[in-house]
Every structure is written in structure tokens, then in C-alpha cells.
Structure 1
Amino acid sequence: MLGLPDYYSARSQTGQGSDHSGILTFDMMMQNMGDHNGYSKWLVGWLPEEKITRIVANEDGISVTRNGEVLEHHDAVDGDTPSVDATLGAYADDDASETEGIVVVSNQDTGMFSSLYLVEYDRYAGNQSVRYLDAALAEHELPSGFRVFRVRGELTDDGSDYANSNLYGTVHSQLIELVDPDMDKAHTTGGIDYAPSAVGENTYGCMLFEESAITPQGYPSTNFFENASIGFTGLTIAAKDTGGETGTISVSYSDDSKPEISGELALTPTFESFSNASVLTLRASTPILKATEEMQQAQLVIDGSTYMLPFTTVKGDTVSTECLLDPEALSPSSRCELVYPAGMFVLGKTGGETLLSPEVRIPLQADSSMAKIASADLYANTAYESTTPSVSGVLSCPDGNLRFVQAGGDKLTVHTIDQNNPGHLSSSTSIPVSEGGMDEVVKALPLENNHMFVVARSAGYPSTTGLWIDLEAKAVTSKINLSGMDFWAFGARGSEIVVASRHYGDNPVGGTTLSLLSQNEDGSVSAKHAWTSSAEFIATQNHLLFSQISREGYAVETESIAAFSFDDLARHIASVGTEDFENPFPEDMRPEEYADTVFYINMQRVLLSAAESSDGYAMVFSDILQDEESSSGSELLISFGNDATKRAEVQLPLDNSSNSGVSIGRNGCVAVRSSISIGTAQGTQGLAKTVFYDSETLEAKSRLSRQRPQ
């Protein structure tokens, strides 16, 4: 016997899906909230036939039946039917097996394992005693109204499982989902205590209330897949009476908006040019679906060579194809053509037949600002046989060398890059480590006298350790357990290490613990701890940046950013710090006299990453955080001088990406790294992009794109 499936999305559970996913509403099989919906109760046999009202409406007419008896029938006239009414009581019982009934609406009565719309009436009572939050975060009881569910309940060929699922489906193409009147708005997740609802709204709009309707023409609509060419139903479901213990709906059919289906398809790029690692997004001349049974793949023809692009997704009239090529495959002068083979898309259904797309060929322009790759290869002597290693960023060391650290198994390896031939390593130094080995490099800092400080994490023994390493002796000279610290930032003064970490103690409350770690002659480590009330911090090469932030509701504003040098921090902690990590020296180190520089920001954005050079800073700020509807669609890059004077700023369009870091090169060039993680049938694919800007004007000079290793 088929059991109840889960109604949440697997992608949302791994951080890949949107906040509005799965069944799109509260449910016992979604977030363990409220009652089971009417479809679930129908599936498990809790609904007797006398509580199931079936309304079948199509071009022939409209019929109402219950318990096998036809209660009402009207023939269609010129493709239209009159409306029929149905009244439902609310789900108001504490017993999940009890209900006042459902209305099942469809074009054909083919049972529960078919495509249909299911209507139930809900109010705040019994198991449906659910609350939601308004724009001011005040809680309210669920109002009385209709929830309409779109169901695609077909079974697999052998009848052993559902052909569609919420777990692996997508919105508008899954087993069951709410037809939410607020579908075009951003939604809160609701968490475990509240029902999902539209952000910034003071009323609950995820139901049908009196004088509201779902039609074939609107959004959301009564068309399956939200695509009239493929899933047209002609149904209108309208609420006539709500608010009391019962509610009344009306249902009708009309073929007035039934589309004429053409066999033609045009795809227009939404971009001017593309790089080797990007998502190619195109707008279709009509809403389409991907023809899953054909298993066709897009092709990219570059200078006569064909590259297969296996991952294409379709949402309405938007087609997105992942392009993940080696950098050498594409140059600014390449001749390019994107090809979608015949039969790759479904254009519509007519007369019981599925109409597939013809071949579509689109010329593309390669990005003229792509950085030229001098060489691309693997560093020798960096392979690990028994484990997948972790690698730090490239470090500019006091002796002038460029190094990076690799962790894996029972050793750390410090590699020095040959500066006369950066494609090669001049040396590799292996340092044995114990206690189960080190599997991840969290942070690496170059120190004076050919030493290094490495923060590494062990998977076998889940702990985080700080290691002082003597590169000449090829040995760990001191170490300290850092597992009690959280949300770190690190800096160095000589051989001493300054650590900022989130403070969780009771005296004082909140803020940041500032720790100074010093080696002793016997290899032990001494630690002193001070405190600041500021809880938002980011480390640059020589400074720790603290943000002064104010919050009001959804709005978050950064008022200022204070830059403290690691030298000054170390001196302050050494003079006043205590040895008790849980109770650091409580005097607030927030006053501006401690800071080298104060940047007055006064923006509803927060600092995401920062870098510094000898003549200034580059900072990346978040999208606008006024409320969840005020997104600018862009993060912001600002260049400052050392005196905190703003030199230039530039918008960083998000384009489904996140800007993961900023750095400043030796020549002053500002580099912003961004990444996109895309869930596919083969797992998560990552794109990494770097855009290079002039530090004075922030004019984009060139860009580099590649597939990011997972």
C-alpha cells in the first residue's frame, strides 16, 4: 500500500532551493504543522465518499457528484459552462482522521491518482490552530478561507510509486502544491512555529477569500505547470463566501483563453556575451517544458568544435543552460553557436498529441574582457592518494615568497611558488601532524623568521587546532586547541596571533572576545582575552574591521566601520586581558580612539568581505536590507583611501551568484570573486568567477571564469 510521501523539497534541505518550496504551505508532511491536507486524508482512506464532492468541467459540460450520485449537470454552450456551487465545513477537529470534506475539481474524473485540483476550507480551530507573522513580526491566527491544491497524482507504470514527487520535483512540477494567490511574492519559511506567508504583508494572502478566484488567465492559474499550452484546464475556482464556520466556492469552465499552439520556437539570449563558465539564460517565444523522455542535450559549437552542455532547466519561458568549459576552449575572438536539438522541448499538447520543438540555433558572442590564460595545469607534488586535501589561499610572506598550505591525512604541506615560473613550485615542505591528521585548512598566516601559523580541522577527531610551524625545521613548534572559539578572524603581530571570536559568556553578554596567543619557550601557549561589544567583524591583512550596526524590524543599517590594527589590538590585550576565556576583560574596546580609521557608511547594507593594500581598502557590501521586498539585485563594491575617503563604487549584479571575497593585488588591482552553486542530476556544479577592477576608478578591466572544484 502506498504511504504518505514527504511534501518538502530535498533541495531546500541542502540549502540549494528557494525559501518557498515543497508543498508551499504548512502541512504535517512539510513542517509537521497543522493538519494533514485533504489529499493526504483521501489517500489514507480517512474520507468517506459522502464527504468527497467531485466537480468535472470541460468543453462538454459540468457535473457535480457525491457518493456516486449526480447532484447537478449542465451542458456547455459554445465552450462555456455555468458555474456550480459547493459548500464546505472547516477542518476544525483535533482528530486527524476527521474532516468536513473536500471538493475535487478536474476536466475528467479519473480518481485520486490523476491530475486534479483539491479544495478544502480551513479556519483557526483544532489541528489547524496555526499562526502567522505580519510585516511587524506580530503573530495572528490563521483566517478562514479556502486552500486550493494542485495535484499530479499519477503513478509509475508498475503502480508501485508516485510518478511525481515534492522531494525531487520543482515548483509547478511536483506531486502536490498550494495554488497560492501570493505566489509572485517573496515568502518567509515560517520555521517550526509559524505558517509560511508573504514577506512584508500585514494580512495572510495564501488562501482564497470572498470575491477572489483562480482562473486560466492569471498567476497563479488553474493551468498545470503554469503553462496554458501544455496544461490548459479552462477552470475557474472562485470563493463566494468565507469567514464563517463554512465557506462556499463556485466552479466553471471556459475555453475562451485556450491558446493556439504553434510549431515554432525562438530563443533569445538575455545576455550580450558569455564566458567559459557561466549560465546561458534565454527567453523563449512561448512558455515551454523540457521533453524529459527525449533526453536531448544542448550543444555549443566553438570554432568548429562541438561541446555538449548536459544541464538545461526550463521555467516558463526561461531556458537556462550551464556552460562549464576549460578556459582554453574559448577566446574573445571565437565564433560560437548554441544549438538546441529538435525535440528537446515540449511546445504544447493538441488533439492528444505532444508537439515537440524544432532545432534552434543561436549565434553567441564571446566575452571580450575574458582574461587570457598564460598557462593552466596542475602543480606537481600536490596529489594525495588516500584523501582529498584542502588548500589555503596564496600567502604573501615576509621573505617575499608566495606560498600556500595543503592539508590531508597525517601531514601539512607548505608549497612555495616559483616566482620566475608561476606554473611551477620551487619547493614543497611536509610537516607531520598527529592526532588523526588534518583534513581542512581553515586559515594560514605567514609569520616572521620563516614561520607560519595554520588553523586546521580534523574530521576523524572533530576539533580545530592552531599550529605554529617552523618551515626550516619542518616541524610544529606549538599548538593550541581552538575548538571553543566560533566565527573566527585571525591576524598576526610578529609571532603572536590575535583572534576575534563570537563571545557567548554571561559577563559581559554578547559581543566579541579578542584573544592574544603567544608561544612560550617550552612550546606551550599563553592566552589573554579582552572584549568588545561589537559583534560583526572581518579581518584584512593588517586590521580587524568592526561594523557598528543598528536593526529595526527587517531593516539593518551599517552606521560605521572601525579599523583596528592587529599591533594595537595585541598591545591592548597584553596590557589588560585576563586568562579566562569565558570571562574576558569586560571594558569595551569600541571607543573610536582605539581605531586607526573609521569609515562612516550609513547604508542599509552589511559588510561581506574586505581587503587592504598600502594605499587603501576595498569592501564588498550586501544587497539592501531594508526589507525582503527592497532588493536592489546587486551587492556594492566600494574603494576607500587610507583616510576613509570614498574613491569609487560599483554595483555587483547578483545574477543568482554570491560574491565570496575581495582581494587587492600587488599592483593595486581589485579582484572580486563570486560563485554559483547549481543543483543538477549529477550533484552540485560550481562556477567561480573573478572580475578585476582598477582600484582608483573601479572600472572593470577583465574577468576569469572557471568550474569550481567541489
Structure 2
Amino acid sequence: MEAEPTGSNRPNRRYAKLKRMIGMATAFVLAISGCVAASATAQANEELQGAAAQTQNTTQVQGTTQQTSQTATQQTGQADASQHTDAPINTSLSPDDPNEKAPEPIGLNQRFGLGRTGQAKVIALRVDFPDMSFAKDDTLEALQSLIDGSNQKFHPYESLNSYYQRSSYGKLSFTGQAFDYHATRNRSEYATEQELLDEAMKALDATVDFSQFDGNNDGRIDAVYLHFAGPGTGWNSQWWSHEFNSDQGRVYDGKEVCNVTFLHTPSNTVDGAQTIIHETGHALGLVDYYSDPKASHPYGSMGTSDMMNNNVTDQCGFSKWLLGWLDDDHVTRIVVGKQGVTVQRGGTQEHKPSLSQAVTSLDYDDMRQQGGIVVISADSALLGTNGKFSSYYMLQYDDPVGNQSELQQPALRLYRIQAELNESNAFTHFNRGSDEPHNALIELVNMKQAPGHNGNPNLMQGDHINGSTTPSTNFREAASVGFTGIDIAVTAVNALGATVGISYNDAGRVNPDDFAITDTVMSRGVLNNDTYQLKTSTKVTPVNPASRAYITVDGVRYSAMISVGGDTITLDYSLANGTITPHSTCSFEFPEGTFYTGIRDGQPVPSQAISVPVKPGPEEPLSRGTYQWRGDQSWLVKANQSIFTDDQGKQHMVFADGTTLGFATFGNDYTNEPNIQTIDLGNALNSYDVIRHASLRDGTLEVTFGTSDNEKATTYWIDTATGKPTAQYTGSQSGNTVLRVGNSVLYVTSYDYTGSTVRLLTPRQDGTVRVSDSKGTAELFETQDGTPAIMPLTGTGKDYATDPVTGKAGRSLLLVAGDALEAKLLALADAAQGTTPAWTYTLVAPTRSFFVPDTVNIMAITATQSASYVLSMEPENGEPRYFLIRFDAKGTQNARKQIDAPHIYDTDHTKQFGLDVAPNGYIAFVDRQISADGSTFSRITTTLISPDFTSVTQSTGSSVQQQSTGWMNGRWVYVAITSHITDDQPSTLDYSATRVLDTAPSPSPVTPSDPSKPSTPGKGGNGTHNANTATTATGTNAKASTLTRTGAAVPILLAIGLAVAAIALLAVVNRPASQRKH
């Protein structure tokens, strides 16, 4: 069980649908998973409405403490039984509140030894290794202080004892003792957590009386914490903060080890304090309230600050009710129905037509004063003995006191809770297992988009929410399956609490007989390989998240995957080229029972069979063929993304088939068999799934392989005359963007909106590779002929929209010579003498430049001798829009067109944009897509635009992911390596091509620039192409220069999100993150 991650490492893939199981399987996974939490995140800033920034800064600084050697007095393999004095007993506990024995699980199948009331007595082990020691200030005393100390600098996280006394209203306190232990082996030699725990406990058993650590006398040690030396190894790994059950049968001094927590965060930091408090929440029986860190959509996030979500503030009222810290007379239960409102508090119940209800604070300065919550449901199960294990809404009022002291002002929050249990007494819903929006265990009903809220997610005076509003009181935010009739009107919010009106309201109820699906979202017509959206008459919910629909073309039915968001249905499908023609009859078919359409007699009603006619789209027909080459019988195939041109003007592609690299050289006619040189690179190829980059210069072929998660890469330099590698580099981090500069290869290993961290790889004569790292306040691109392009940045995030070259809002693009950039970076590294040097756009004088005004971001560019083209993201009515802009050779804009490509705003796929201009000016805008979790297929959609910007058609090419694209003889061509392993056939190279589109212009040019002049290979160019760039522009003797944004599977949606934020800041993306931090 790990808490929500923070950081800015930018994961490579996002915005794809989750398909995860819930129920018993999820409960089991959560029970054995690790659990950690972030101490302070950007989300916490927003949802705390400005929680103390100084505290967060302190956490970030202290959390980076360097590891240093232990003192020489510590002997390996020996237990240090010196211990601190006993912590004082919590005298604030009521004598009528006895220690709790053997607490029952609350929604999670796990054993518990830690009582939820009384005085807990815990043990903490500080374990170092022969090869890893603790930082100087990460001491035994610091670990002891986390149990029962009073470090006011950490308030409200000064210790377990202080925090949980306040959270439980004095019902739970902590005492305990910390011990040093020096492990006998290096850390990597311990295969499991249990192995290290057993060794430490057995060694300490000779000097420590473990029977003293059973506060509730249930025969189990209340809790064991093991703080280990060395860095964490990532979320959900062995060497990461998490809580788990020890193997059974580990008994010391008559007490069994049960709840164990591993801790990797330094004990002398706020981060360490927050982490141990969060993990102790699991030892008490609470589950995580954050979204799965590896999720592509944040469906499961609680959506606000909470100790079990992001390691900040107090435990919420739901957690306190589960743990027994809220007495029944402090929980007001309300059931709403057509006949009125039933109110129950303590042993008293009354019925009213409607209700004005006070909501008092959950937190007080005096821990003896108990807080309260208000819970509301349409189900009378809420009034029963197990009412907390049902579905309901919870009103919680938080004062900025005690554990909520980081709040800047009081907050009235409304939560949606689904806490039913299955037959194993595990929750049926979890936050970390949610596979659709608004269907988690607990989530904030987020009001930030409501009128007058200006981003405030909490309820405000004057708010009114029911089944017809957004957000609503419908479960799953869909009246078709979750209508409750609950109506909440906030009549007052002040320093003493809030007052709300609660009643039944029929608004928002839907009639199942009125359900309809229409083609009103896109209406552009369907393509052969497409994502298409339809509109429903109401917010709809699928009966099964894995439901499928069908597209019928000329009477033949094909399968389509569906996803639902509100009143929009998204369909993904892939058909063979030519299946849909301009004269086809098409429709989408939804079988009976696909959706819930409303509620009748208290039960959701499934849909009838539905057919929605759609028209065929403006798709270019393709001619297809297969080359004679045959590969191995292998599914391990991959191809570079674009057909690239070498320094002699020849066109190539590279592909891998198992352990064999194929290097294809094309002739003047794409239909002729290419010359294919095969190079055996061994089994190492099988560990990579993408070809990031390929280039050919001076007879040396460079190919860079990577992984889709950007975790590693290998670059080969190959002598094409002999087919043998002359140098090789393998690194643990892949480049998001890869360029060839001179004889070197440049990885952009990380990127933020202050600049790029780059690694220059230079092969030597002896086969070794020189590695030179630097940080540039710029972003880097690569053109088709290998010319690097620099986009200058200011070096700060807040003024990102300002171009440092001109001082204006917009972006300058500077093309530079690759050899010159290589030489400058090598000289910079030499002068740095082992440090990481910094550089700006002035490092190399540009050979050409131009300026794009008022852009939020440049998504792709291409340049020919006579013109430059950019895909610019710009604000329009407060929303990001994409524009294709052309500049002449002097940098003057002469054409502009908004691009509404089929999938340009699709949120379910990772995207890479590229531009590619043919010799006579025809433009290909390429959108490559693949879902981050692999639940939907990849596709390449090309929008083909005439030189005068008037004719726009589409091409979806092959449905095969591994394919290269480019212009050949005036046609847009796809060359795919296709695996036929299911048919027991070898892999093949297949091609598809449009009709001739790029033709010589008429004698009267359309624009002042002369697009009829074909560009020629640049002298001194690198002959490279970034495989992250879906671009290439070549003819028989000519080619265009192309730039594009970032690496394999760059999420365009992230850029959209950042653009929205930038637009808001201006008052009027492309990279990803995720490494966990606690």
C-alpha cells in the first residue's frame, strides 16, 4: 500500500484507460502491496487552498539528505540494545476507554495487532548494511522521536503519539523504543523484506524483551517499524516505504510479529514523519485513498488533502468513523426519499419533510472535544448497525486547527463514499482499484468548476447540488445508474461551522425510455483506423467496463472498443485499408444491455439494441503491396518511425525482427524491392520495444533502441560496409528526444519548462564512447537532414511564455550546424572538469531563425529551403487550439490554418505530432497514437494539406504499429513490418501509398515563397532523423527539413493541460512523470 507519488520526472505515457479488477482480487493485491505517501504535492497546495509553503519547502530540502558513513564504533551483525527512556504514558486517555484487543478488519483482508484505542507500544529498528549507511542526521534519536517526540518544527506531524492523540480525540496514544541493528550482508543480498526482518529480530531477541510491545495484550506485537539505510528503489518495490503482514509464526517472548512497516525516508525530516504516520494508518486498518501511481487516468484519487491520500493533514471523518473514534452521537445519519427526510443521531430518530442541518467541526484544539460528521443517503441501510459500510455522502467541516492546521481557512467538504463489503468483508470499491471515473471508495465531490468557485473545490455558501447539477449527488456522476434524489443547499458557512438544507428533489432523474445515441460530436465521417465519438441523451454508464460495440460497413460487422465519459461514447476500432470507401454505408451497433439508461423501481435499466448511422469520412484511398523480403517467425518486430534520408540523398528505414536489424535502402520507385542489409545484434534487441532514432552519415549507421517507459537505451554505431558495430553505448536512462550532432548522438534525458538535461555520446576509435552531460535552458529538436534546432527558454517556469531572444510572448526557433553544436558541447564538458555545465541558446550561432508570436507552445516544425512550417498551440476563447503556420525564408508569415485533425484532441492516447513537407509543398501532419496501458491499439493518422492550405484529406495508413512513413514520388507512403506469428508465417514488409498528391505547381505561384523549388540535402548535414518525429520529406533528389517535439510516446494531453494553465495566467506538452516520493 503506497501513497500517491510526487515529483517531476515525467512519465512517457499517460491518458489511457485502466482495466483493473476489483473486489477480492483487488483486496488481496492491496493487502500485500507497499504503501507510501508524498509529504506535500502540488495537489495538496490546491486542495489545502495554499497550505503552508514553507513546510513544503522544508520537506523538499530535508528529503534530499545525502547518505554518509556510519561511525566506526558500529559493528556489523551486532544488535545495539542501548535504548531510550520509556515514552510517557498518555494521561489524557479516558479510563472508560479500555485497550482494544484483536481489532477486526475494516474493508481489507489483513491481520492486525495494533489496537485502535488505548496505548500502543511499538518497536522501531534502524538497520544499516555493510555497503549502505545512514546520513549524519538520520540518527537513532531521530527515529525514536518519530514515535513519541515533540519536534514542533514538524507540527502537526511531530510524532505518532502527538498526531494520533489529536486525530483520535485522545483515544489512541503511542509509546515505544528504537534500536540499532547492523545487517550481516549487503542490502541487495536480501531477497525479501521478511528475510531482513527475521535476521534483525532474532539478533535483538537476546537483549530485548519483546513482550513489552503488546499494548492491547492480544498476543501480538502492536507494530514493528524497520527503517533501512540506502535510497528507495521506487514505488511498490522492496526498498520502499510500505506496510505489510509478517509471515505467521514469528514469535518472540510469547508475542507474534504481525504488522510491519518498512521506511526509507530519513527520520529527521518532515517527510519521514508524514510517511510513518501514513503507514501507521494502514496498520490501524485504513486503505489508500489515492489513485494507482501507474494509472493513466487519475480515476481513483480522493481528490483532496488527507493523510491516506497524499500524507498531509488529518484523517478524514470516514476514517475516524471506521476506526471507532467518532461516537454514534457525533455521527448524524440522514436518509432522503420521496416521503421526506429521516434523521438519526445516537439513539434518536425523527422524520421531517425537509431538514436544516448544522455541520460542526471535525477538529478542535482541545483533543477531548470530539468532532462530528453528517452522512446522507437514499438507502435506509445507512441507519443500520453496519451503516458505515454502505453508500452515502459525507459532509465534513474542517477548522485550520490541530492536524488540519495547514489549512489556511475553514473548509466544508462533501465526499461520495461507496463502502459496501463483499462476502469476505473486504470493500467492493477501492481508490487504487478504480477503473472508471467517480467509482471509488471515497472521493471529494469537487466543486472547483461550479459558478463563483474560481478553482475552490469545497462547498461555499449559496451552493446548491442535486441530481441535475454538475457535480451532482448521483453516484458515479450518472443519473442513469446512481440517481439518489438528494438535494443539498448550503445556507451558511462561518467560523463556527455550516448550515445546509437537505431534502428530496426529483431534478435530474432520467426516463430509461428516452435514452438515445446520436452522431453530433464529430459528424466528420468515420475512417478505417479511427477513434470516433457519439453523444448520449444523458450521462451514461456501461453495464460492463469491458463492453464492446461494433461498426458495420456495407453489411459486415467489425468489433470496436468503447469507453464512456459523461454523455460521450468513444469508440476505437481498426479496419483494413479500403474497407470504408466514400460510398460505404456505415453504422455503429450497440448490443442489448450495453449501457444503463436509467432507474426504474429502484433498479438500473439496461439499454435496448441501438444502431447509429454514420457517414464515411474524407479518407485518401491507398494502394497496397508486399515486398519479397521475409523475416523470422517472430513477434519481436519494431521499426523506426520515419523514412530518413542520408547525407547522399538516399532514403532508408531500419527495423528489427527478433535479434536481426534490417537496414533498407529505397530506390526511386517505392514499389520496387528495397535493398535490405541484415545485421545480427544479438538477444539484447529483445529487451527494447522501440527504435528511437536512426541516421546514416559517412557510411556509419547509428541506431538507438529504447523502452517505452524510458528506463534504458542502447545506441549502436555500425559500419555499413562490414555490417559490424564499431561502438556501442548502453545507459539506464533513455532519451525522450534523440538527435545526431556531428559524429555524436545527443539524448535529451529529462525536460522541464526551464530547459533540457542532455547527454552527448561520442564514439572513439577504440570502440568506447565518451559521455558528456550538460543542462541547457532551451528545448532541442532535429530536422530531417539532421540540422539541430534550438528553442530558447527563460530558465524559469513562471515566465515560460516569454521568448528570451525577443522579449516578446512567443517562441524563436534557431537552426544550428550539428558539427558546431557537437564541438561546443564537447568543449563545454572539457572546461567543466567533471561537473554538469549549463548553457543557453547563445552557445552556437544560428544559421537560420524565425519567430512565432503569441504561441503557447510549438508542437512540431519543418523547414525547407524556401519556407518554414510550425504547428502552434494557441489560445482561442480560453481553450488551446492548433494552427499550422507557414513562414517564408526570411521569417515572414504568409499562411495560417487551424487544424482540426480527427484525433488531435483525443484524451485517451499518448500522442506524437509531426510535420512533413513534400518537395512541391504538400504537407503531412502526422498524429501517432498509442494508449499508455496497451488497452487500445496504436494508429497513425495523417492529415494531408495542399500547398495553398485549401484541400484537406485524411489517411490512416496501416493498422500495424511498427511502420515508417514519408513522402516518395509525390505519394504519402507507409512501410510496415508485420508479424504473422498467429498464422505461423514469417514477418513481412508491407507498403501502402496514397495517390500522387505532391505535384509541380502551376506557373503562377500561390504564395510569394516559391514552393516549386525542391530542397536539396544540406551541406554538412548529419543525414539523421529523430525517430520520435513522425516526419520526412523527400523526393528523388530532394528532401525537406523537419522538426518535432519530444520522445517516444510524448503525451500531447500534458501539453494541453500546461497550455490551459498558461492561457489562464495570460488572462486571456509534452512530456511526461512519476517516480514516487514520500
TM superposition score category, shorter chain reference: 0.7 to 0.9
Cα distance per residue 1:534-581 (max 9 Å; x no partner): 422211124222223356737624342211122544576688884757
Distance in 2 between residues matched to 1:277 and 1:129, nearest whole Å: 53
Indicate yes or no: 2:855 matched with 1:604: yes
Measured after TM superposition, the shift of residue 261 of structure 1 is: 1.6
Q: Is the 8 A contact 1:469 1:478 kept in 2?
A: yes
Q: 2: CA distance between counterparts of 1:706 and 1:434? A: 28
Aligned-residue identity in percent: 22
Other structure's SS at 1:635 match: strand
Change (3 A) 1:454 1:568: same
Measured after TM superposition, the shift of residue 223 of structure 1 is: 2.5
Matched, 1:231 2:475: no
Alpha-carbon deviation of 1:694?
A: 2.7
Partner of 2:869: 618
Q: Residues 572, 69 of structure 1: CA spacing in aligned structure 2 closer, same or farther, 3 A cutoff?
A: closer
- Mapping of 1:53-202 within 5 angstroms? 53-70=332-349, 72-74=350-352, 81-92=353-364, 100-110=371-381, 111-131=387-407, 141=408, 143-156=409-422, 158-166=423-431, 167-183=433-449, 201=454
Residue identity opposite 1:563 in structure 2: L
Q: CA deviation at 1:54?
A: 1.0
Q: Which amino acid aligns with 1:470?
A: D
SS, match of residue 640 in structure 1: strand
1:285 maps onto 2:285 in alignment: no
Distance in 1 (alpha carbons) for counterparts of 2:428 and 2:713: 46
Which aligned pairs between 1:285-364 and structure 2 lie closer than 5 A?
285-292=537-544, 297-309=548-560, 311-364=561-614
State the shift of 1:236 in Å: 2.4
The one-letter code sitting in structure 2 at the alignment partner of 1:316 is G
Q: Could you tell me how far apart the structure 1 residues matched to 2:839 and 2:568 are?
A: 56
Distance in structure 2 (CA, Å) of the matches to 1:580 and 1:478 = 25
Cα 1:259–1:387 shift into 2, 3 Å: closer
Q: Deviations over 1:664-709 (max 9, x none)?
A: 34554322221444478x7243332111223453742442255463
| Residues 608 and 462 of structure 1, relative CA distance in 2, 3 Å threshold | closer
Cα distance, 1:599 vs structure 2: 0.6
Identify, as 1 or 2, the structure richer in helix: 2
* TM-score w.r.t. length of structure 1: 0.80
| Equivalent position SS for 2:789 | strand
Measured in 2, the distance between the counterparts of 1:503 and 1:386 equals: 31
Q: Determine helix, strand or coil for the equivalent of 1:89.
A: coil
Contact 2:489 2:501 in 1 (8 A): yes
Measured on the aligned residues, the alpha-carbon RMSD in Å equals: 4.0
Offset, 1:144? 0.9
Partner residue in 1 for 2:319? 40
- Residue 538 of structure 1 corresponds to 781
SS in 2 for 1:218: coil
Given that 1:409 and 1:438 are in contact with CA atoms closer than 8 Å, whether structure 2 keeps it comes out as: no
Alignment of structure 1 residues 589-600 onto 2, 5 Å = 590=842, 594-600=845-851
Q: 1:292-344 CA distances to partner (integer Å, 9 max, x unpaired)?
A: 39x863222111211122x2223332222222222242222211122222332
Structure 1 residue 16 corresponds to structure 2 residue 288: no
State the one-letter code of the partner of 2:817: S
User: 2:804 matched to 1:556?
Assistant: no
Secondary structure in structure 1 of the residue aligned to 2:937 = strand
Q: Please give the alpha-carbon distance, in whole angstroms, between the structure 1 residues aligned to 2:380 and 2:775.
A: 68
After superposition, the C-alpha distances for 1:101-150 in whole angstroms (9 at most, x for unaligned) are 2111122330223221111111222222335xxxxxxxxx2x21321111
The answer to whether the 8 A contact 1:549-1:560 is kept is: no
- Please name the residue that 2:892 is paired with: 645
SS of equivalent to 2:793? strand
Q: Secondary structure at the match of 1:118?
A: strand
- Is this contact kept in 1: 2:792–2:841, CA < 8 A? no
Greater fraction of residues in strand: 1
Shift in CA distance, 412/178, structure 1 to aligned 2, threshold 3 Å: same
Counterpart in 1 of 2:1059?
A: none
The verdict on how the C-alpha distance between 1:458 and 1:304 changes in structure 2, with shifts beyond 3 A counting, is: closer
- Residues 610, 349 of structure 1: CA spacing in aligned structure 2 closer, same or farther, 3 A cutoff? same
Deviation at 1:418, TM superposition (A): 5.9
Q: Distance in 1 between matches of 2:415 and 2:440?
A: 11
In the alignment, the residues of structure 2 paired with residue 433 and residue 581 of structure 1 have an alpha-carbon distance, to the nearest angstrom, of: 36
With 577-586 and 335-344 compared, the bigger mean Cα shift is at 577-586
Asked whether the equivalents of residues 817 and 846 of structure 2 are also in contact (C-alpha less than 8 Å), the reply is: yes
Separation in 1 of the partners of 2:676 and 2:738? 29
| Deviation by residue 1:418-450 (Cα, 9 ceiling, x = unmatched) | 6545485432321446988873533211112x3
The answer to whether the Cα contact below 8 Å between 1:516 and 1:574 also exists between their aligned partners in 2 is: no
Query: Which amino acid in the other structure matches residue 556 of structure 1?
Result: A
Residue 37 of structure 1 and its aligned partner are, at CA, apart by 1.9
Kept in 1: contact 2:735–2:749 (CA 8 A): yes
Q: Is the 8 A contact 2:467 2:509 kept in 1?
A: no
Do structure 1's residue 52 and structure 2's residue 331 form an aligned pair?
A: yes
Alpha-carbon separation, structure 2, partners of 1:57 and 1:462: 53
**8 Å contact 1:441–1:455 — kept in the other structure?**
yes
Tell me if the contact between 2:736 and 2:750 (Cα under 8 Å) persists in the aligned partners.
no
Q: Find out whether 1:687 has 2:939 as its counterpart.
A: yes
Secondary structure of the equivalent of 1:405?
A: strand
CA distance in 1, matches of 2:334, 2:465: 16
User: Secondary structure of the residue that 2:879 maps to in structure 1?
Assistant: coil
In structure 2, the partner of 1:276 is 528
Residues 1:534 and 1:525: Cα distance change in structure 2 (over 3 Å): same
Using the alignment, how far apart are the partners of 1:635 and 1:367 within structure 2?
Answer: 21
Instruction: Report the AA paired with residue 43 of structure 1.
Output: L
Of residues 435-444 and 471-480 in structure 1, the stretch that sits farther from structure 2 once superposed is 435-444
Select between 49-58 and 670-679 the one with higher mean Cα deviation.
Answer: 670-679
Distance 2:515 2:574 in 1: 25
- With over 3 angstroms needed to count, the CA separation of the structure-2 counterparts of 1:265 and 1:90, relative to structure 1, is closer
User: Gaps (5+ residues) in structure 1?
Assistant: 75-80, 132-140, 186-196
Report deviation, 1:416. 3.2
- Count of paired positions: 653
Aligned to 2:653: 404
Counterparts of 2:664 and 2:396, CA distance in 1: 65
SS at match of 1:29: helix
Give the SS at the match of 2:329: helix
**Aligned residue runs from structure 1 range 488-507, under 5 A:** 489-493=738-742, 496-497=743-744, 499=746
Tell me the amino acid that sits aligned with residue 576 of structure 2: D
TM-score when scaled to structure 2? 0.54
Q: Measured at CA, do residues 173 and 697 of structure 1 come closer, stay the same or move farther in structure 2, by a change above 3 Å?
A: same
Q: Which has the higher contact order (CA 8 A, sep 6+)?
A: 2
- Residue 726 of structure 2 corresponds to 477
Structure 1 688/702 Cα, relative in aligned 2: closer, same or farther at 3 Å? closer
CA deviation digits over 1:516-548, x for unaligned, max 9?
Answer: 94654x55667899x896422211124222223
1:451 equivalent in structure 2? 700
- Alpha-carbon distance between aligned partners in 1 of 2:944 and 2:641, rounded to the nearest angstrom: 21
Q: Is the 8 A contact 1:412 1:433 kept in 2?
A: no
Contact 2:354 2:503 in 1 (8 A): yes
SS at match of 1:130: coil
Tell me the alpha carbon deviations over residues 580-633 of structure 1, each in whole angstroms, 9 at most, x when there is no partner: 5746898866189x2122212232322233233343333223354x9xx9332x
In the TM superposition, residue 397 of structure 1 has moved relative to its aligned partner by 2.7
Aligned mates of 1:359, 1:393 — CA distance in 2: 43
**Partner residue in 1 for 2:113:** none
Q: Does 1:664 align with 2:929?
A: no
How far off its partner does 1:178 sit?
1.2
Corresponding position of 1:261: 511
1:9 offset after TM fit, Å? 2.8
**Distance (Å, rounded) in 1 between the aligned partners of 2:656 and 2:663:** 9
User: Which deviates more from structure 2 when the two are superposed, residues 213-222 or residues 390-399?
Assistant: 390-399
